[in-house]
Structures are given as structure tokens and as C-alpha cells.
Chains A and B, each alone.
Chain A
Amino acid sequence: EAGVAQSPRYKIIEKRQSVAFWCNPISGHATLYWYQQILGQGPKLLIQFQNNGVVDDSQLPKDRFSAERLKGVDSTLKIQPAKLEDSAVYLCASSSLAGAGYEQYFGPGTRLTVT
């Protein structure tokens, strides 16, 4: 079974530029998550989708971050414009359903450096 795929793996941009990340979850997984992991910290949830609907985006900085999951499969996360503090690893995860016992499977992440 193929795991969660993410691209690109690494991205370096200057502040005020825009960037987009792509995620392809495990086939059949209804729930998709985007996390931000800053160096030395644990992953922090940005947004959770159930199929193509948003379940929770309370921690997404909506003035600069946006995410979509068209057709309930692939998802993209965009930052526009980027700030220095956005430098982090962006992790995508998926699970068959949301809830206890439905473990989340993580992709390898995209390491973003904003200069």
C-alpha cells in the first residue's frame, strides 16, 4: 500500500513570495490533515478535512494560508505572502476516519525555508 505522498520535499523562497505544497493521501482515506512543525516543536494542526469539507481550520492563519481538497482526494496548502516565521516542515497526514483508534499516517513533509 502506497503511503502519503508530498511534494516538493524542500523549498526555499524569499519573504513575501508565495508557495504551494501538494499532498496525496493513502487511497480511500477520508480524513486529511495539514500540520506545521517548527524546529524543536511537535507538529501543530493547521487544518483538517473530512472528504472535501473542512472540519477544523481554527489554527490556520487565514490571512496568508489557504488549503483546499478538491474531489476529496489530493490537497494543496498555499502560503501567500510568506513570512520568515513560516519556516518549518509542513506535514500532511491521512486516516481512514477521524477518531480514537484511527491512526494517522504521515507523509515525509516539505521543509520550507523563508529567507
Chain B
Amino acid sequence: DQQVKQNSPSLSVQEGRISILNCDYTNSMFDYFLWYKKYPAEGPTFLISISSIKDKNEDGRFTVFLNKSAKHLSLHIVPSQPGDSAVYFCAASGGGSARQLTFGSGTQLTVLP
């Protein structure tokens, strides 16, 4: 039972254009969402997060949008740079005191020069 889904395994974007990565979730108890970026042979690194009380959070070139009614979030990268090429994981937490993260399967973003 995949509670967090990233339906696009890969995405290619031209340098300078917008990259949009999507994520869907099924568990209504999730109230905090995160995006992690992962380069080959490295562990995931935290990128940006959003609480369910917000619908948008922005940090430089990265913006995360949350649509709670649709149980959908997206990560926008503008403008995209070749160094952004990596695997992006969506993660969610909520419910219970432990608040573990549930990860999606990831989207490989390739930014073409």
C-alpha cells in the first residue's frame, strides 16, 4: 500500500525552464510534507518542507505547493540548472508522536544544458 506516490519516474527539462515534480498521497493523517534531493552515492538531503496549514512555501528557486483537497503536492524549480539533476523524493509525516517519514519512489530530474 503506497501512501505516497510519485508517478513520474523521470523528467527532463531544458536549462532555465521550470521543473515541476508531482507527488500524491492517500493518508489524511499526513500533515507535514518534505522534499529531499539525492545525488548518486550520497544520502538524501533535505530541500524544502511545508506544513498542512499552508498551501505554499518558497525558498529561493524552490517552491512547494500543497493542495490538501486533492491530496497533491508539487515542487517547482525556477529556473532549472544542470546542478539540479538528481533524484527527488517526496516524503510525508503525520499522526502519532514518532512522526516517521513515508517516502515516495522518487523522480529522476535531468536538466539539459
Which A residues lie at the B interface, using CB under 8 A?
4, 33, 40-45, 48, 55-56, 91, 93, 98-101, 103-109
Interface size on B, residues (CB 8 A): 28
Q: Across the interface, do B34 and A98 meet the contact criterion of CB distance under 8 Å?
A: no
Which 6 residue pairs of A and B lie closest in terms of their CB atoms, listed nearest first?
Answer: A42-B103, A106-B43, A100-B32, A103-B46, A106-B44, A55-B98
Q: How many A-B residue pairs have CB under 8 A?
A: 58
Residue numbers of B with Cβ under 8 A of A are: 4, 6, 9, 31-32, 34, 36, 41-46, 49, 51, 89, 91, 93, 97-106
Q: A44-B103, A100-B32 are in contact. List 9 more A-B contacts (CB 8 A).
A: A43-B101, A43-B103, A91-B43, A93-B43, A100-B93, A100-B99, A106-B45, A108-B43, A109-B43
